[in-house]
Amino acid sequence: MRVLLSTWGSRGDVEPLAGLAVKLRQLGVDAQVCAPPDDEFVALLARANVPMIPLGPSVQSVVSRPKPPTAQDAFKLAPELVAARFETLTRAAADGCDAMLATGLMPAGVRDVAERLGIPYVLACFHILGLPSQHTSPGKRPGTPPATGPTDRRAEWAQDAERVNALYAEALNTHRAAIGLPPVGNVRDHVFTEHPWVAADPVLLPAAGQTELDIVQTGAWILPDERPLPADLERFLDAGEPPVYVGFGSMASYAPQDIARAAIEASRAHGRRVLLARGWAGLSTIDDAADCFVVGEVNQQALFPRVATVIHHGGAGTTGTAARAGAAQLIVPLIADQPFWAKRVTELSIGTSAPDPTTESLATALATTLSPTTQSKARSLGPTLQTNGTEVAANLLLQTINS
């Protein structure tokens, strides 16, 4: 049995698929991951012993620019990704494939290749921000600005579908026609299907009843990490009380200017040492003081239980890893689903947020996350979170194939 898992996006889009692939392979399924060819993702999948098929351009080539991607960049990237999915997935499935699962940036093209092959297709997501709902308005997308004046949610979501069509419809339907398939009128709903999977913990994300679609919530997809921490990092951790961790993952050009300085100065105001994760934003120390340490890519599952607070951008992956570790969180939300996770962390009393980070605002927020109440709440929540999401999803996928 062979399954292709496809994504294009940040590490938070790739690592969960690696976790699911590992579980599927343990069950005897030949699971392969189609993902962007960034060095970090190549190394991650190699470490997990999961075969990788490069898909599209590297994410770093798109986001690691002096300024964040523009609407013009989005309209250029969308058809490029559609073409890459048709080409890559068709080639990857040439030796046989029993199902395709997609996630990441609007994966238009995956369902269409599966349709042509006559095999099951599943859309999975790590939050519900983009799923049509009468409870929330849609997030921002490139394209025509929202209509001015009052509109109801149904009209807002109809406009959202139009923006997705503007990005993807022409390319998608051109490729569909080339393989003998009829055109799609609503790309967003076609990609999402009526039964998308939500790979998120139900405590962190109580998704039931929050969307118009009939979702299947599996729990988060976790890739186990057994790597030891580097010896020099261990020495730093052992040399004093738990430090404040600061990392912005794949955010690169989105990271706030001078965020490292603001976080270091705010932490020092509380007498705390700082552990900076370099990441794609290239965070670095502001002086040679011994109270700061910089790390590259490390095992967050082992690290986060040993820090006092995790300051981060609020991606679904980092939020979940910190929550399971029992670490308090200070989220600086930048884009997409990050404001949602900042709000959720605050609601659960396991942290807070600082949307406009300065030394002063971060210091104030750290007073909350370092408080005994927040520390206790975070430690108590960790063990209650679900950890068998990959097992649930893998078994569901096997049932889908065999039904």
Sheet holding 216-217, edge to edge: 52-54, 30-35, 2-6, 99-102, 121-125, 197-198, 216-217
State the DSSP code for 305. G
Same domain, 153 and 49: yes
Same domain, 204 and 250: no
pLDDT (0 to 100) of residue 67 = 77
User: What is the per-residue pLDDT across 334-365, written as a single tens digit (0 to 9) for each?
Assistant: 888 999 999 999 999 999 999 999 999 999 99
pLDDT (0 to 100) of residue 149 = 61
In one letter, which amino acid is 220? Answer: A
Same domain, 201 and 311: no
Q: Which two tokens stand for residue 3?
A: 């399954």
Q: Are 197 and 122 in contact (CB under 8 A)?
A: yes
pTM of the model: 0.95
pLDDT (0 to 100) of residue 146 = 65
Same domain, 197 and 299: no
| Residue at 67 is within a domain | yes
| Residue at 226 is within a domain | no
Same domain, 325 and 365: yes
| Residue at 211 is within a domain | yes
- Could you give the CA distance from residue 273 to residue 265 in angstroms, rounded to a whole number? 10
Q: Which two tokens stand for residue 335?
A: 């884009």
Cα-based distances in Å from 117 to 111, 175, 195: 10, 14, 20
Cα-based distances in Å from 397 to 152, 165, 215, 224: 36, 29, 14, 20
Same domain, 376 and 395: no
CATH code of the domain in which 99 resides: 3.40.50.2000
Cα-based distances in Å from 103 to 8, 41, 122, 249: 7, 15, 9, 19
- Could you give the CA distance from residue 342 to residue 314 in angstroms, rounded to a whole number? 6
* Domain range enclosing 343: 231-384
If one counts every other C-beta atom within 10 angstroms of the C-beta of residue 271, the result is 10
φ/ψ of residue 128, rounded to 5:
-115, 15
Those residues of the chain that have pLDDT short of 70 are: 146-150, 252-253
Q: Which two tokens stand for residue 12?
A: 């938070």
User: In total, how many domains does the chain have?
Assistant: 2
Residue with tokens 């910190």: 322
Q: Say whether 353 sits in a helix, a strand or coil.
A: strand
Same domain, 215 and 255: no
- Could you give the CA distance from residue 184 to residue 189 in angstroms, rounded to a whole number? 10
| Residue at 237 is within a domain | yes
Same domain, 81 and 167: yes
- In the chain, the N- to C-terminal Cα span, in Å, equals 14
Cα-based distances in Å from 79 to 122, 142, 376: 21, 14, 48
Q: Which two tokens stand for residue 42?
A: 């190549």
Same domain, 213 and 267: no
Q: Residue 373: enclosing H or E segment and its boundaries?
A: helix 372-381
Q: Are 33 and 51 in contact (CB under 8 A)?
A: yes
